[in-house]
Amino acid sequence: MESYQAQIPGSEVTFEMIAIPGGQFEQGSSHSDGNADEQPVVRVEVPAFWMGKHEVTWAEYKQFMKLCSIFEKFDDREIRQVTDENEIDAISAPSKLYDPSFTFQAGEEPDQPAVSMSQFAAKQYTKWLSLLTGDFYRLPTESEWEYACRAGTTTAYYFGDDPDLIDEYAWTDDNAEYETHPVGQKLPNAWGLYDMHGNAAEWVLDEYRPGWYASLPTRLCTTEETLCWPSKLYPRVLRGGSMYVLPADCRSASRRASNDEDLRSYDPNTPKSPWWFASDEAIDIGFRIVRPLETPSREEQEKYWQADVPSITSDVNRRIDQEGRGERGLVDPELPQAISSLRDSSGAKAKSP
């Protein structure tokens, strides 16, 4: 198992995946500075996986964001239509960002982390990337995230216990000026992962429950056992501090609960966007992808990608079918070819002199 670099098919954009060896660790905090929701510590056996060296960047995410208008054009030409039979290979692409003044407040440089997406949109991104590349990508579980962040350490941060050293390692409320910064500028952890203690907060798969660790067995657990599958829209877990978060809450064990309703409060329409948060309080929310070494069955994969509560599905359907915002489309290895024929058939692309 080796770290690797991959290209998003149909683009020049690349991303790096770091090999994370399997192992056991203690999840949570036994330190006095730990919060109640990080206790008691849980012993977890984590199988090997790859994890994104960086948070997903705008360069990567914009490849996904482009799909909405592409799927609209397929629809206009009645090609690659989504049917009941092929729906399993379809994703819902996020609506075009109409007024991104909040979303891009910190900039939209290709090497800045993509932010403001809902956890559902992040999961659809992993489905798109998987069906496009043939490799299974998904969001990390909370256990995988913390295991990868710690990289074998048991201290509060992967660089030790002293928050005063964090400026070398992370963008936090202390040094970021309320803005996200290009990924990979600070020092990585022992496994080579960057920005795990700050910059953008990162979605994981889990629902947030403050007493979750206490409800788990005291024996060695599997990551399937420790994963808290969501049963409601929010709160869900955000990991890894951020540029809005004080260093004390950027620790390896720190858990943050999302409040999706607040994050959507600047959205003028109802149902509110299932893909985007319109509030500037969301401009520190991004994600990082993982790829497990063992690829589960296709049926199993769906669980990690799809809407997990019915209200998301009904909001998606209503936004797309009644409001014409967002679009569904098929994703397969032929998609890049179909996109470039679309470009060819619409005439030579205008070039500036």
Q: Which residues bind other proteins (CB under 8 A)?
A: 69, 72, 95-101, 104-105, 178, 265-272, 279-281, 311, 314, 318, 322-325
292 φ/ψ angles, rounded to the nearest 5 degrees: -70, 150
Nearer to other proteins, 69 or 222 (CB): 69
Nearer to other proteins, 137 or 234 (CB): 234
The H-or-E segment that residue 236 falls in is strand 236-239
How many CB atoms are closer than 10 A to CB 187? 13
- Locate 154 and state its tokens: 């048991």
- Locate 35 and state its tokens: 């919060």
Q: Report the nearest approach of other proteins to the CB of residue 310 (Å).
A: 10
Taking alpha carbons only, the member of 55, 109, 64 closest to residue 91 is: 64
The residues pairing with 203 across neighbouring beta strands, listed in sequence order, are 238, 287
Q: Report the nearest approach of other proteins to the CB of residue 35 (Å).
A: 24
- Locate 48 and state its tokens: 């090997």
Question: What type of residue is 327?
Answer: E
Nearer to other proteins, 4 or 178 (CB): 178
Taking alpha carbons only, the member of 13, 137, 135, 106 closest to residue 65 is: 13
In sequence order, which residues have a C-beta less than 8 Å from that of residue 346 and are 6 or more positions away? none
Nearer to other proteins, 38 or 173 (CB): 173
Q: Report the nearest approach of other proteins to the CB of residue 73 (Å).
A: 11
Nearer to other proteins, 41 or 115 (CB): 115
Q: Report the nearest approach of other proteins to the CB of residue 324 (Å).
A: 4
Q: Report the nearest approach of other proteins to the CB of residue 309 (Å).
A: 12
